[in-house]
Homo-oligomer: A and B are copies of this chain.
């Protein structure tokens, strides 16, 4: 069981803002707990209103494909709750997960009008959907938002480089430790506590993210558990014994 705080959202699977916002009710955005983390952080009240006009909110169950690699990219997404994975496949089925997206993360950017990867929900998820065309128009109108989006892309680029270092040069144990630290840091940025880390994804997903097999991921977890570096708790939580020790394990120092 994964526990998730739904920032907002109703039972309907898709709803336009107009429909979901009866007269007098406060707009969902103003209650959005991840707004400060994402592109919306840069916006004034009026700009936020304009953005809200083009946005839809959606919810998906776990294991749902949001879009597939190669499909025309007509929508941008923002995660408001839950976890999404994005991955690329080789013809024979080998898979590389290039990222896990948490509340506040943005996805759906495209290169030549089609998605370069598949996006699939790991847990139940709520998303904001922005039609690409209208979003682009808004970006032209609000340079602050353009700038914010650029800065988010820069951060992602830096994270991608860290991941390349991990994939190309780290051992299995270093990979797992780095992964746990990453989850911890990301939780921290979202105002959750850093230590018992919530790990909502399966061993297979972790393996495909770290360039390993499920067996190796499993073995490495038990090895870390045996050496008292971590302990596994109820509800997919991992307790890190000593943050600094784990950091050393993550860098092979």
Residues of A within 8 A of B (CB): 88, 90-92, 94-96, 98, 109-111, 116-117, 139-140, 143, 146-147, 149-150, 153-158, 160-165, 167-170, 208, 210-211, 251-253
26 residue pairs bridging A and B, Cβ less than 8 Å apart: A88-B162, A88-B165, A91-B251, A94-B169, A95-B169, A96-B165, A98-B161, A98-B164, A98-B165, A109-B154, A110-B154, A111-B154, A111-B155, A116-B158, A117-B161, A140-B143, A143-B143, A143-B146, A146-B147, A146-B150, A150-B150, A157-B160, A160-B161, A164-B164, A164-B167, A167-B168
Contact with A167, one of B117, B167, B253 (Cβ below 8 angstroms): B167
**Contact A154–B154 (Cβ < 8 Å):** no
Q: Residue of B at shortest CB range from A144?
A: B140
**Contact B90–A251 (Cβ < 8 Å):** yes
**Contact B169–A96 (Cβ < 8 Å):** yes
**Contact A160–B169 (Cβ < 8 Å):** no
Write out the residue numbers on chain B whose beta carbons fall within 8 Å of the beta carbon of A153.
150, 153-154, 157
Q: How far is the CA of A117 from the CA of B153 in the complex (A)?
A: 17
Write out the residue numbers on chain B whose beta carbons fall within 8 Å of the beta carbon of A117.
161
Q: How far is the CA of A109 from the CA of B159 in the complex (A)?
A: 13
Q: How far is the CA of A149 from the CA of B165 in the complex (A)?
A: 25
